[in-house]
Amino acid sequence: MLQTGYGGPEVLRLAEHPLPQLGATEVLVQVRAAGLARAAWHMMTGKPYLLRAAVGLRRPRQPVMGHNLAGTVAAVGAGVTRFRIGDEVYGIGRGTFAGFSAAPEEKLAFKPAGLDFEQAAVVPLSGLTALQALDAARVAAGMKVLVLGAAGGVGSFAVQMARAAGAEVTGACSAGKAEFVRSLGAAGIIDYAREDFAAAGPRFDAIIDVGGNPSPARLRRALVPGGTAVLAGGEGGNRLTGAIFERQVGGAVLSLFGNRRLKGLMCRENGKDLERISAMTEAGTVVPRIDSRYRLADVAEAMRRLESGQVCGSVVLVP
């Protein structure tokens, strides 16, 4: 699936493309499934515009879409030591919406036992973001944790991981997704259309914000003294920088005053953290939830599903 420019699904087209060239420490993976994360939508639209400075001003320098993958090792670079041809792996690669993708060895892990390729493919970016957000908030047993955007790809992992850590989890979502979020292990539900999570004052030891754009001041208001809010996502904001950048800067400034922390988070793509998630999935404490499946040729339709706001869990693509 190639991207010819920035815009809506009309900039996408299915076409043949040469196999990626492997670096010395890269692995060629035959893609069996690819997760469709929100990052792909930002890449397609080129918004916020600041993103284009990093990936290409008029069109992405990497023409093949996609980052998440699960599949089988087809070839390895001369410097690869961990994987062999035939190994089943998952992780983050270059241009994963394709039959084959090149992935750095350090961004892969062995596919967890008990997960099929589709389940494994939706883990990498969403699971890593959730795990690192909980690490940043130092989530532990007995803490009260609020997950904003609890029904989405990152949120569904964050709820399960926080529950596995022994925290009491409240999930914020729309009313129609409440049962889904409860099924993830949330003890409480906040309907964001009817309730203000910050109205009752300090309640939470940690807030994992992956699905909205509440102001840093509102997040801070809902934290107990010594609490931490992690800003791991957000939509809206101005076209140049977007909400994520604006809110992370605002949070950093507020954190200078008082004893409540607001921390920005950018996902660190690495295989060691994927191995931590593998242990959770193999123990059964974290289960990837798939909302819908699409063929690679139907990426445009999958994008529309992602934009609809109706997704519970993650969207996955298959060849």
pLDDT band (50, 70, 90) for residue 201: confident
- Tally Cβ neighbours within 10 Å of residue 196: 12
Q: What is the pLDDT of residue 240?
A: 55
Q: What is the mean pLDDT of residues 216-226?
A: 93
Judged by average pLDDT, the poorest of 82-96, 209-223, 231-245, 260-274 is 231-245
Q: What is the mean pLDDT of residues 169-196?
A: 96
Q: What is the pLDDT of residue 153?
A: 95
Q: What is the mean pLDDT of residues 289-295?
A: 97
Mean pLDDT of the residues in the chain = 92
pLDDT at 254 over 60: yes
Residue 293: beta bridge partners? Answer: 316
pLDDT at 185 over 70: yes
Tokens 């883990």 sit at which residue? Answer: 123
Judged by average pLDDT, the poorest of 11-25, 240-254, 256-270 is 240-254
Residue 28: beta bridge partners? Answer: 75, 102
CA 208 to chain centre: 13
Cα–Cα distance for residue pair 213/219, rounded to 1 Å: 10
- Tally Cβ neighbours within 10 Å of residue 113: 9
Judged by average pLDDT, the poorest of 33-47, 205-219, 233-247, 305-319 is 233-247
DSSP class per residue in 35-50 = EE-HHHHHHHHT-STH
Helix (H), strand (E) at residue 125: helix 124-137
Q: How many residues can be counted in the chain? A: 319
pLDDT at 247 over 60: yes
pTM for the model: 0.92
Q: Do the beta carbons of residue 33 and residue 20 sit within 8 Å?
A: no
pLDDT at 242 over 60: no
